[in-house]
Amino acid sequence: MLVVSRAAATSVDLNSNRDRMTPEKIDLLPTLQSTIARLSEEFNQISSGRKELVSALVAFIQTRKKQGLPVCLNFICTHNSRRSHIAQLWAQAAARYYQIPDVYCFSGGTEATSFNPRAIKAMREAGFSIVPVTDGDNPFYNVRFTESGEGLSVFSKRYDDPFNFRGDFAAVMTCSHADENCPLVPGAIVRIALTYDDPKDFDGTPQEGSKYTERVHEIGRETLYAFSQVR
């Protein structure tokens, strides 16, 4: 059985340059660089209501940064199969893009299933490199978003799995079901409700591909906006 350490999960070097670099200097994978450039021009599509919700995430990141403390984010949905993984990977990429150091992103569910292939396909189309490392019902994946670095180890798990940080983190609830049915997240110092519609509702329909792309872009756009506001 593959054993993946937390160090491996956060092996992308976020501390190589603590001075903020311009986005053009970041070694993102080319397709992802293009996707980010496009989404960054669409911040005006985010409603004022959504920006208000995102502001709680901005405030947490900003406060931790000012205090010189690591920014630990645990993105949580019911099955840890779609939205929570999408948000986790976008947040880690956004931290790299905006050169905000010491950001460590994880995800979990109220139960473990697997990283959904449809979500993986949409994230690959956005420019992420996602390669299976193990087989089975709940495979491990190596996810990269830069030209260098070993990438992140990603798999489905409960939000309180030992692989994740056990305390001093923000619990970011990405689905309303988990937000309503998981009133207490042990170890979380902040709870942020930033929920999204489930693309699973369109599985097996003609709209499946477009809806997964839509959700990947929506989560990416709002996450990039959040990190762009951190000073």
Give the pLDDT confidence of 44-97 residue by residue, as tens digits: 999 999 999 999 999 999 999 999 999 999 999 999 999 999 999 999 999 999
What is the model's pLDDT at position 180? 67
Q: Please report the pLDDT score of residue 13 as a whole number.
A: 33
Position 119: which residue type?
A
Strands (DSSP E) contained in the chain are 71-77, 103-109, 129-132, 141-144, 152-154, 169-173, 188-193
Handedness of CA 87, 90, 95, 98 (dihedral sign): negative
What domains does the chain contain, in order, with CATH numbers?
22-228 (3.40.50.2300)
Q: What is the pLDDT, as a whole number, of residue 183?
A: 64
Could you report the per-residue pLDDT of 116-155, keeping only the tens digit for each?
Answer: 999 999 999 999 999 999 999 999 999 999 988 779 999 9
Mean pLDDT across the stretch 18-43? 78
Tokens for 35? 């996707």
